[in-house]
Amino acid sequence: MTAIIGQKLLRYPSIDSTCDEAKRLISSGISEGTVIVSSEQTKGRGKPGSSWFSPANVGLYMSVILKPFKNPQELIPLTLLYAEAVVETILEIYQLTATIKHPNDVLLNGKKVCGILVERLKNGELIIGMGININNPAGSFPTEIGQTATSLLIESGRQINIFDFENNLLSKLNSLYLAYLSGIC
Find, among 158, 110, 150, 118, the residue nearest to 132 by Cα: 150
Amino acid identity at 39: S
pLDDT reported for residue 185: 63
Q: How many CB atoms lie within 10 A of CB 180?
A: 18
Cis peptide before 103 (omega within 30 of 0): yes
Residue 159 DSSP SS3 = coil
Domains of the chain, earliest start first = 9-181 (3.30.930.10)
In this prediction the pTM is 0.92
pLDDT tens for each residue of 8-42: 999 999 999 999 999 999 988 888 999 999 999 99
pLDDT reported for residue 72: 61
* Sites in the chain below the pLDDT cut of 50: none
Amino acid identity at 107: L
> Cα–Cα distance between 23 and 64 in angstroms, integer?
11
pLDDT tens for each residue of 108-117: 999 999 999 8
